[in-house]
Amino acid sequence: MKKIVILGGGFAGVWSAAAAVRLRDKQNVPRHELSVTLISPSPDLVIRPRLYEQVPHDVKVPLRKVLGPLGVDIVTAAATGIDVQASTVTLDGGHEPVPYDRLVLAVGSRVVRPAFPGSEAVHDVDSIEAAEALQKHLDSLADTPPSRARFTAVVVGAGFTGLEVATELVGRLRELASAASAADDVRVILVDKAEVVGPELGDGPRPVIEEALDRLAVERRTGVTIDSVDGDRVRLSDGSVLEAGTVVWTAGMRAHPLAAEVAAPLDRLGRLHVDEYLAVPGAPGVYAAGDTAAPEAAPGHPVTQSCQHAIPQGKYAGHNAAASLLGAPPLPFRAAPYVTCLDLGAQGAVFTTGFERTVLHTGETAKDIKVKINTEWIYPPVNDVEALLDQANPQSARAS
Ligand SMILES: Cc1cc2nc3c(=O)[nH]c(=O)nc-3n(C[C@H](O)[C@H](O)[C@H](O)COP(=O)(O)OP(=O)(O)OC[C@H]3O[C@@H](n4cnc5c(N)ncnc54)[C@H](O)[C@@H]3O)c2cc1C
């Protein structure tokens, strides 16, 4: 019996598993000849792109409901090491090492929070636990004594996530402050060491973003970062001090450190270089997908750490891992045309196309698209083998 092991139960891991099963079924190969095992510390697929929102009830989807009906073996554990020579993965929790014939590394990314005095008091929205902790903290503000800091939030990082957090926080803080008869006390301040907001989003959408921030009265402190947090006092690198009861860190994503275990070249985000089939050169039998891999989405443009790229990468990696065991032709990775949709809270959203990020929609039109993405399009079918396998085809119209 041959075995495909997938590490990670995020978007890339889930779609890798589905695509591997799809090819196995298509080739009429029984499960006892080729098994697919998915290993993840969480029993759920976490819908990470929604973690800037007030934590929604459906922010996670049980993996067993998505992949169980396909016969994927789901192991709830964290991988602690990869031995490429021995083709085994070690796990925590007293599990035996797991051998593999093909491995798909899809363990995602995490925000990098630098250590500075008081950094332990800073929030982030990188995991459900962190987003829930932020929510709990915000809910507790009404019970704290009135002060300038109480309904002031500092958001560090004016990139994609920071902008979504800051614009969302305006609405959440206004609601909380109004209930405490302190509506005028709300302040949201975006801090970024770059000189502009959305430095990586480029010039295209910036005027729309700036206008939305102006309308929402989000203040900007660019060209600086945080030096320390001491209670409500947030000291910036230019020596100035802000009084803020809430600080959220969003800057800097890196691939999961397990990517480095493969002993292959990494890019500046810690992602593995892969060939056009998403195989890791120099690591026989190992594929990488999602936020841990850095294939090109278009000439000269590596994929972004995004669902939009993680989902199709998962499909190609799972397909190709299975194809290499079943004697089927591998498929070179093809990304769908690049788009972004940035939520701007009560000011709608901005939808762009291409790596030059040409603005196509703004306001409510873009917001409607964002809501569809967040509540429908990024969710895999549940308890529906046919729909899942249909979408798992890397070359289907809905490949991303
Ligand atoms: C607040 C926020 C907003 C975002 N907004 C957008 C957006 O608007 N559009 C967009 O396209 N993208 C967005 N993203 C990025 C998007 O969420 C990621 O790019 C996407 O989740 C990557 O998918 P992945 O499967 O590679 O990794 P992840 O979704 O991070 O999944 C990684 C999986 O690996 C598992 N894992 C971790 N450690 C181990 C281990 N040791 N062993 C085994 N498994 C492990 C995790 O439990 C998880 O199941 C956003 C992210 C955040 C945090």
Distance from Cα 146 to the centre of ligand 1, integer Å: 37
Residue 375 lies in a domain: no
CA 179 to centroid of ligand 1, rounded, Å: 34
Please state, in angstroms and rounded to a whole number, the distance separating the CA atoms of residues 304 and 229. 31
Q: Are residues 209 and 322 in the same domain?
A: no
Q: Which structure tokens are listed for 163?
A: 């902008």
Domain-located, residue 274: yes
User: In this predicted structure, what is the pLDDT of residue 400?
Assistant: 44
Is residue 232 located within the same domain as residue 295? no
**What are φ and ψ of residue 187, in 5° steps?**
-140, 135
- CATH code, domain with 182: 3.50.50.60
DSSP tally for the chain: helices H, then strands E: 8, 24
Ligand 1 closest atom vs CA 165: 1
- The pLDDT value recorded for residue 224 is 97
- pLDDT at residue number 399: 41
* Residues 239 and 324 grouped into a single domain: no
pLDDT at 397 over 80: no
354 lies in a domain? no
User: Which of 314, 337, 360 is where one domain is finished?
Assistant: 337
Q: Which ligand 1 atom sits nearest the alpha carbon of residue 44?
A: 49
Do 239 and 267 lie in one domain? The reply is no
- Express each pLDDT in 171-196 by its tens digit: 999 999 999 999 889 999 999 999 99
115 backbone dihedrals φ, ψ, rounded to 5°: -85, 120
Q: Which atom of ligand 1 is nearest to the CA of 45?
A: 49
Tokens representing 93 are 């929790």
Task: Let me know if residue 141 belongs to a domain.
Answer: yes
CA–CA dist 160, 163 (Å, integer):
5
92 CA from centroid of ligand 1 (Å): 20
**Does residue 361 sit within a domain?**
no
Distance CA(13)–CA(79), nearest Å, equals 13
Query: Which letter does DSSP use for residue 200 in this model?
Result: T
- CA-wise closest residue to 152 among 220, 239, 242, 216: 242
Domain end among 219, 249, 279: 249
* Mean per-residue pLDDT over the chain, rounded: 96
Residues 98, 130 share a domain: no
Percent of the chain with pLDDT over 90: 94
Strand (E) or helix (H) holding 60: strand 60-62
Residues lining ligand 1, Cβ inside 6 A:
7-13, 39-42, 48-49, 51-52, 78-79, 106-109, 125-126, 161, 256, 258, 290-291, 305-308, 310
Q: Which domain holds residue 36?
A: 2-111+253-337
Cα–chain-centroid distance for residue 132? 16
Let me know whether 99 and 153 are in one domain.
no
Give residue 55's pLDDT.
Answer: 81
400 in a structural domain: no
> Angle at Cα 327 formed by Cα 321 and Cα 330, nearest 5°?
50
Domain count, the chain: 2
Distance 11 CA to ligand 1 centre (A): 7
Between the alpha carbon of residue 95 and those of residues 11, 80, 105, 365, 385, the distances in Å are: 24, 11, 19, 49, 29
Q: Last residue of a domain, which of 299, 321, 337? A: 337
According to DSSP, the residues that pair with 64 across neighbouring strands are none
C-alpha 293 to ligand 1 mean position (Å):
12
Indicate which atom in ligand 1 lies nearest the CA of residue 91. Answer: 42
Residue nearest to atom 3 of ligand 1 (CA): 49
Tens digit of each residue's pLDDT (9 = 90 or more) over 72-84: 999 999 999 999 9
Is the same domain home to 152 and 180?
Answer: yes
For residues 285 and 204, state if they share a domain: no
Nearest CA to ligand 1 atom 37: 107
Residue 342 within any structural domain of the chain: no
Question: pLDDT confidence of 340, banded at 50, 70, 90?
Answer: very high
Cα dist from 116 to 36, 83, 122, whole Å: 43, 35, 10
Q: Measure 105 CA to ligand 1 centroid, in angstroms.
A: 13
Domain match, 153 and 236 both:
yes
Same domain, 146 and 264: no
Index of the ligand 1 atom closest to the CA of residue 51: 1
Picking from 4-18, 258-272, 386-400, which range would have the lowest pLDDT averaged per residue? Answer: 386-400
> Do residue 233 and residue 274 come from a single domain?
no
- Does residue 373 lie in a domain region? no
Mean pLDDT of 288-300: 96
Closest residue CA from atom 20 of ligand 1: 307
Same structural domain, 99 and 130: no
Give me the sign of the Cα torsion angle 49, 126, 344, 183.
positive
Does 398 score more than 80 pLDDT? no
Q: How far is the CA of 142 from the centre of ligand 1 (A)?
A: 32
